[in-house]
Amino acid sequence: MIRGKISWPKSSSIRQYFSLPSNIIYYISKNPSSSEVYNKMIQCCKYFFERNPIIVVPNMEENTVCLNDASECQKCKKECCIEIDLKKLACKIWFTNQLVIWDPNIAEIPPLFLSKIYRTEIQHLEIHEKFVKYDNFKFLAFTAKDVYLNNVKMVYENGKDVPLEKILEEIPEVEQFYYYFGENSSKISVKTLMNIIKLKNLGNLETFRFYNIFETLNVKDLLIFIKSLKNTKIKLHFHRLISLEYRQQLGGLVDKLIETRQSNCLLKFCWQNNQKFKTLENLFIK
């Protein structure tokens, strides 16, 4: 930057003249209505990028960004992806599609990364093995339709754990929700299930998946939960070390689901009757 001007390679940076007053042009540069509009602005005139330097990023996975959608990226075998160094990045990032945070060497989302975000319009959000502050999650996930949380510990500013129903409450557009219970993540309880049923923002929820569920849920309450979300496809995968008694109770629940032709739920646990699982799976798929 030289006196507020970028030294463009192989190009001179000259003074621009607009037909509108300079204060209006400045306001437009600082308040783009959408990522599409912003990209058109910076393509037609360098002034807009100099006044408000932003990179519109459809997809980001850790420090790798891609300007193509997922299908195009696969066709290119990810050769279109670019690694960036956040410490050297002078501009902000505007997310429009997918964000995946998974680096196992970092315990929480780095403040440097969050400080680089201009705006998020994320459709698909994945967070793996991370310590996440509630306010940061709300900022990232507000527009997300597809959310995958794997062994995530989410806390308020005072350090208290955020219950699962509160997490769901902050994703008003959610359609697909995946949650893997691990050592760090909140434990699920009957109270949590009943609170989830009461949420008013799950009208668009198509798929609900819980993985690695521990022996903390009463089977009768599970049945109430399944029937209450009759328009949602529910997959429940249980921890491999649940007791024999609990497996028998789950087997009884499978019998009830088959008997009543309840087709919105699929249960998966170790040592279950394979034939009954296939029957329930066929109901679920159809």
183 φ/ψ angles, rounded to the nearest 5 degrees = -65, -30
DSSP label at residue 186: P
Task: Output the pTM of the full model.
Answer: 0.89
Per-residue pLDDT at 152 exceeds 50: yes
Answer yes or no: is pLDDT of 271 > 80. yes
What was the pLDDT predicted at 106? 86
CATH node for 122-286: 3.80.10
Predicted confidence band of residue 1 (pLDDT cuts 50, 70, 90): very low
Residue 208, token pair as written in the block:
């609900």
pLDDT of residue 2: 46
Which residue reads 């008013």 in tokens? 200
Q: With 70 as the cut, is the pLDDT of residue 4 above it? A: no
Range with the poorest average pLDDT among 3-12, 170-179, 205-214, 248-257: 3-12
CB 177 within 8 A of CB 209: yes
Q: What is the pLDDT of residue 10?
A: 65
Please say whether the beta carbons of 16 and 5 come within 8 A. no
The predicted model gives 166-193 an average pLDDT of 90
pLDDT tens per residue, range 44-76? 888 899 899 999 999 999 889 998 877 788 788
Residues of the chain with CATH 3.80.10: 122-286
